C-alpha cells in the first residue's frame, strides 16, 4: 500500500440520537497534514465490514471528493457506508465488473429509490406516486415535440433527459452510455423503480439543507416554458430569501423546520414538500396543487390525463392555504388564491380556447396538416401559446411574480394570439395549405422508450 492507504481512515461523526450504543461512538480526531491537495485522513473507531473499509481506503485515494462528501453527511454519522447503498444483490443486473474482478464484491453504480427505501420507505413510496418519478412518461404523453420528432436522441439525452430521466439499460453486462450517467427525476432504473433521489439530494452529501433551497429545484424548473426559479426570485418570498437566506437554519430535522423560527419566507420545499404546522412532510411534490398549470387548457389535477392526481383539488388547496397561514392572514391568503383562480379562467377563456378553435377549424378545412403536429409555423405558434407564454402567465400569477404574469405572460399571449389570427386569416384567404417545413436535425423517426408496467 502507499503511505496514503496506510493512513488510518477517520470518520468525522458524532452521536445524534440516544439510541446509539456506546460501542457505536465515533470521535473526530485531528491528523497530520497530507500531501497537496491537503485532505483530512479518517480513522474509524467503530466496527464496519472489511469490504466497506476497502471501499473507503481506495476511494480516499482515487476519488477524494466523494469520500469528503460522504464523511460530512448524515449517512456517515449514522455509520451508513458505501456498501449499504451500492452493494448489489444476486439478482441485480447492473454490477461493476471491476469490483467483481478485483475485490469479489458486487457493486452497483445505480442507486435507485428502491435501494433508498430500505431505510426511507415512506419517502420512497411518496416519491413513486409523484409527477417527478413519472415525468419521463408524462412528457411523452403531453409534449408534441417528442411525437413529432422535433429533436434527435442526442439532443434529448443532452437536454430533456437530464431532468426527465432516461431508461437505464444494461448492454453486454455494462451500463448503456446513451442512457448513463443520468440523475433525472423520472429515471427508470434497472430494478424497475422510477426516479433518482440525487436529483435533489446530490450525492454523496445527500444534504437536507441543499434540497430545501430553491436552487435545487432551479436545476430543472427554469427557462421559457417553466421558469419557476426566475419567478420565485422576482416574488417577495424570493427577495427575502436572497437578502437573508444565508442566515437561516437549513439543517433542522425533517418535520421540525419551522417558519418564523428557522426561516422567514418559504422556498419551493416549504410549499410542496416540507411539513408546516399540521401539514405533513411528503416527497410527492404535487401537494397543494389545485390546478394543472402545465397543461394546454388549465384543468384540475385529477383531470390531467398524462398523470391524474389521486387527491381532490380542494384538499390540496386547503393544504396550501394552511402553509400560507403560518405567515399570512386568512383574508390575505384567500384573496391571493381568488385572484389566481381568476387568472386561470382569463387564460382559458380569452386565449387558449379561442386560439384552439381557430386551429381546429383550419384542421377541419385541411388548411393545416395533422401528419406531424409541429411542422407548420402556425402549429408552432399555437404550441408556444400554451407551452411558453401561457405557462408563464399562470405560474407568475400563482407565485406572485407580476413581471412574469404580465410582460412575460399575458402581454406575450396577446402578441402570440394576434400572430395566430393573422396567419389563420392568410390561409383562409388563400384557400390552400401553407408551407410545410422539414425540422432539421431530427435524425429520423422518434421512438418512445419502453417503460415498465
Reported as half-sphere exposure (CB side, CA atoms, 13 A), residue 313 has a value of: 14
How much is the average pLDDT of 376-398? 97
Do 231 and 396 meet the contact criterion of CB atoms below 8 Å apart?
yes
Task: Count other C-beta atoms under 10 Å from residue 299's C-beta.
Answer: 16
Within a 10 A sphere around the Cβ of 157, how many other Cβ atoms? 16
Phi-psi region of 172 (alpha: psi -120 to 50; beta: other; left: phi over 0): left
The model's pTM: 0.86
Q: What is the largest CA-CA distance in the chain?
A: 86
| Low-confidence winner among 122-136, 150-164, 240-254 (lowest mean pLDDT) | 150-164
Which uninterrupted H or E stretch holds 414? helix 411-430
- Tell me: pLDDT of 4 over 50: no
- For the segment 260-275, the average pLDDT, to the nearest whole number, is 96
In this prediction, residue 92 has a pLDDT band, given cuts at 50, 70 and 90, of confident
Model pLDDT, residue 450: 65
Domain coordinates in residue numbering, the chain: 3-86, 125-198, 206-444
Q: Check residues 442 and 132 and name the one with the higher pLDDT.
A: 132
For residue 287, say if its preceding peptide bond is cis, omega within 30 degrees of 0.
no
pLDDT, averaged across the chain: 87
Grouping H, G, I as helix, E, B as strand and the rest as coil, residue 299 is: strand
Helices (H), ranges, 26-116: 50-62, 64-71, 74-77, 82-86, 97-102, 113-116
pLDDT per residue as tens digits for the range 23-69: 333 333 434 344 445 555 555 555 688 888 888 888 999 999 999 99
Q: What sign does the dihedral 69-70-72-75 (CA atoms) show?
A: positive
Average pLDDT rounded to a whole number, residues 323-346: 98
- Per-residue model confidence (pLDDT) at position 11: 38
Superfamily of domain 206-444: Hydroxylamine Oxidoreductase; Chain A, domain 2 (1.20.850.10)
Amino acid at each position: 500500500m502507499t503511505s496514503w492507504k496506510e493512513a488510518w481512515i477517520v470518520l468525522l461523526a458524532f452521536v445524534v440520537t440516544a439510541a446509539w450504543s456506546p460501542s457505536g461512538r465515533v470521535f473526530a480526531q485531528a491528523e497530520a497534514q497530507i500531501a497537496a491537495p491537503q485532505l483530512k485522513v479518517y480513522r474509524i473507531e467503530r466496527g464496519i465490514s472489511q469490504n466497506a473499509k476497502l471501499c473507503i481506503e481506495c476511494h480516499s485515494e482515487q476519488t477524494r471528493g466523494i469520500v469528503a462528501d460522504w464523511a460530512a453527511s448524515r449517512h456517515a454519522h449514522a455509520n451508513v457506508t458505501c456498501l449499504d447503498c451500492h452493494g448489489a444483490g444476486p439478482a441485480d443486473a447492473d454490477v461493476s465488473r471491476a469490483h467483481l474482478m478485483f475485490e469479489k464484491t458486487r457493486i452497483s453504480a445505480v442507486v435507485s429509490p428502491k435501494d433508498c427505501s430500505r431505510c426511507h420507505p415512506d419517502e420512497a413510496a411518496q416519491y413513486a406516486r409523484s409527477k417527478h418519478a413519472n415525468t419521463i412518461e408524462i412528457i411523452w404523453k403531453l409534449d408534441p415535440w417528442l411525437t413529432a420528432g422535433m429533436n434527435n436522441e442526442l439532443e434529448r439525452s443532452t437536454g430533456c433527459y437530464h431532468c426527465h430521466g432516461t431508461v437505464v439499460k444494461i448492454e453486454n453486462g455494462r451500463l448503456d452510455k446513451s442512457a448513463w450517467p443520468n440523475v433525472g427525476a423520472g429515471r427508470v432504473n434497472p430494478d424497475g423503480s422510477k426516479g433518482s433521489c440525487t436529483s435533489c439530494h446530490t450525492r454523496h452529501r445527500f444534504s437536507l439543507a441543499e434540497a430545501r433551497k430553491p436552487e435545487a429545484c432551479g436545476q430543472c424548473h427554469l427557462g421559457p416554458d417553466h421558469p419557476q426559479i426566475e419567478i420565485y426570485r422576482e416574488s417577495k418570498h424570493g427577495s427575502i430569501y436572497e437578502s437573508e437566506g444565508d442566515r437561516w437554519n437549513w439543517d433542522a430535522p425533517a418535520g421540525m423546520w419551522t417558519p418564523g423560527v428557522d426561516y422567514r419566507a418559504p422556498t419551493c420545499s416549504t410549499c410542496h414538500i416540507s411539513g408546516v404546522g399540521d401539514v405533513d412532510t411528503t416527497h410527492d411534490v404535487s401537494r397543494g396543487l389545485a390546478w394543472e398549470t402545465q397543461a394546454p387548457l388549465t384543468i384540475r389535477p385529477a383531470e390531467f390525463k398524462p398523470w391524474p392526481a389521486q387527491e381532490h383539488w380542494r384538499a390540496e388547496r386547503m393544504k396550501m392555504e394552511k402553509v400560507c397561514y403560518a405567515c399570512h392572514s386568512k383574508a390575505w391568503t384567500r384573496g391571493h388564491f381568488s385572484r389566481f383562480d381568476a387568472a386561470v379562467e382569463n387564460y382559458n377563456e380569452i386565449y387558449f380556447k379561442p386560439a384552439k378553435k381557430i386551429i381546429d377549424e383550419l384542421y377541419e378545412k385541411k388548411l393545416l396538416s395533422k401528419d406531424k403536429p409541429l411542422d407548420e409555423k402556425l402549429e408552432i405558434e399555437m404550441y408556444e401559446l400554451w407551452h411558453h407564454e401561457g405557462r408563464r402567465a399562470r405560474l407568475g400569477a400563482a407565485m406572485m411574480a407580476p413581471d412574469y404574469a404580465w410582460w412575460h405572460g399575458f402581454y406575450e399571449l396577446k402578441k402570440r394570439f394576434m400572430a395566430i389570427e393573422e396567419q389563420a386569416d392568410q390561409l383562409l384567404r388563400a384557400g390552400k395549405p401553407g408551407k410545410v417545413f422539414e425540422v432539421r436535425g431530427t435524425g429520423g423517426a422518434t421512438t418512445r422508450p419502453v417503460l415498465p408496467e
